[in-house]
Amino acid sequence: MNRVCIAAGSLILLAAAAFTPLRAAEPLSLAQAERGALSANPKLRAARLEALAAQKRASQSVGRHFGELSFVGQYDHFERNRILVPMAVELFANPSLGMSQLPWDRNQVHYGLQWQIPLLASGKLHEGDRIARLSRSAAQHMALFTRAEIRYNVRAAYRNALIVQHALKAATAYRLALQKDEADAQLRVKLGTWAPVAAAKVTYALRGAEAQETDFTAQSRTAQAALAALMGRTLPQGGFTLQDIPQAPAKETGRPEDAAHQALSGRDDLLASRDATQVFLHKKRLAMEAFSPELVLQGTYLRNEAPSVQDSIDTRQWALMIRIPLFSGLTRVYAVQEANANLLAAKQREKAKELEVSTQVVNAEGRLEAARALYQAGQAQRRLGHEVANVEHLKLEQGTGKMEDYLAARGEELAGETAYWRGLYTYQSAADYLTFVTARGGTDE
């Protein structure tokens, strides 16, 4: 009886699992994908936090001009009694008391406030300010460039997912049509109007269509997972339902030299590279100013207490301290040489970045031209594929066509449909890429 109950329970669970609906796909527009990426992409968040950190470092640099106020404290235990405070004339206000009446003790506590302000700091203040401001500017430019890069990447990933989605739809339609053709072929074989080999050809084509559909299904999941990762999330179980973007880009009317000029003057990664070069220039100046003297003003207020002294004794001190570097094992000389090498390297990185930007502009313009031609070819291939497939299907129905020609036409129809959407979205992404590399901004769909 128990075994019967267990078996029945298992059947119920299996039946419930079989009839549990699959999780529905999540609708996702291009604008939603952009907003998600710009708010949650980890790389972009890190760039913004780095910019914030650079801003706080700049604030720290400004704060150094106001000096430093500290609480200081010290407890001393000596081997014998020592005087609590430095010798001063006030300690001998009553000479008849003698030296023994001075504040002596082996256990002493000294505590109070100390303020130190730099008056001359060997360039550490003003050069440090410039370095901090330039570092902040470079980090802000890199955050802006990362934002533009993420925006382009998510738009391109969305279109890549659409390309595969349309290829999957076309493959599914192709497979369903072949399933119907296979059923018709089997019927005609039974009626004796077709040879079995003709039906076998349809079955063979159907198996290939099923394999192609499975491949596109896997590609679609991969493309959508890449899109989800750019949005800072994992792919939902049901995937995404994407919206088509049918508009073709407007044809570029500007001159190539204008695009190159715009990129070289407005690209945030190039501006960040130029700021970095200036940072190393001021670091070199800072290393050279290490040979200069330093001047510090220091004020100290202390309360001095000991068990043998009834009241604490307060002391105050102002000190003007100068430090003139004379010799440090040539470390400052080597520091200047290091800073000079770093500056030269930064200039070369800036030059390399300028060449990279110029090359990207040329590449983007070439990609746009090639993508436009691919889109136009896809339009023609799509029209031709539909027409040829319809003609071959009618010829086959009328008994004047060949099975090989019909199956080939079906394959061409699939290829034409896929080529059209690939051409359209490649064309859109190429236009986006030119916008990205020339720092022209862009508009939302």
Whether residue 425 contacts residue 159, with contact meaning beta carbons closer than 8 Å, is answered with yes
Q: Which two tokens stand for residue 200?
A: 């076998």
Q: What secondary structure does DSSP assign to 25-82, as a single string?
A: PEEE-HHHHHHHHHHH-HHHHHHHHHHHHHHHHHHHHHHGGG-EEEEEEEEEEEEEEE
> What is the Cα–Cα distance from 350 to 331, expressed in whole angstroms?
28
Name the CATH superfamily, with its identifier, for domain 26-69+123-292+331-437: Outer membrane efflux proteins (OEP) (1.20.1600.10)
**Cα–Cα distance measured from residue 360 to residue 354, given in angstroms and rounded to the nearest whole number:** 10
In the numeric block, the tokens 């001159």 are attached to: 255
CA 395 to chain centre: 56
The residue ranges of DSSP E strands in 125-255, in sequence order, are 240-242
Domain ranges of the chain: 26-69+123-292+331-437
Distance between first and last Cα of the chain: 65
Residue range 197-252, pLDDT digits in tens: 888 988 998 999 899 999 999 999 999 999 999 999 999 999 999 999 988 888 77
Q: Which long-range contacts (CB under 8 A, 24 or more apart) does 374-378 make?
A: 374/422, 374/423, 374/426, 374/427, 375/248, 375/423, 375/424, 375/426, 375/427, 376/423, 377/419, 377/423, 378/416, 378/419, 378/420, 378/421, 378/422, 378/423, 378/424
> Two tokens at 92?
């001998």
- Rounded to 5 degrees, φ, ψ at 125 are -80, -60
The CA distance from 416 to 383, in Å, is 8
For the four alpha carbons of 205, 210, 216 and 219, in that order, the dihedral sign comes to negative
Amino acid (one-letter) located at 314: D
Half-sphere exposure of 333 (CA within 13 A, CB side): 5
- pLDDT in tens for each of the 445 residues of the chain? 444 343 444 433 333 443 444 568 899 999 999 999 999 999 999 999 999 999 999 998 888 888 899 999 999 999 999 999 988 777 776 665 567 678 899 999 999 999 999 988 877 888 889 999 999 999 999 999 999 999 999 999 999 999 999 999 988 988 998 898 889 889 888 988 888 988 898 899 899 989 999 999 999 999 999 999 999 999 999 999 999 998 888 877 667 778 889 999 999 999 999 999 999 999 999 999 888 899 999 999 999 999 988 888 999 999 999 998 888 888 989 999 999 999 999 999 999 999 999 999 999 999 999 999 999 999 999 999 888 888 888 887 887 888 778 888 888 888 888 899 999 999 999 999 999 999 986 444 4
Residues in Cβ contact with 99 at an 8 Å cutoff, skipping those fewer than 6 apart? none
147: number of CA atoms within 13 Å, CB side? Answer: 18
The dihedral sign for the CA sequence 322, 129, 47, 32: positive
**What is the pTM (predicted TM-score) of this model?**
0.81
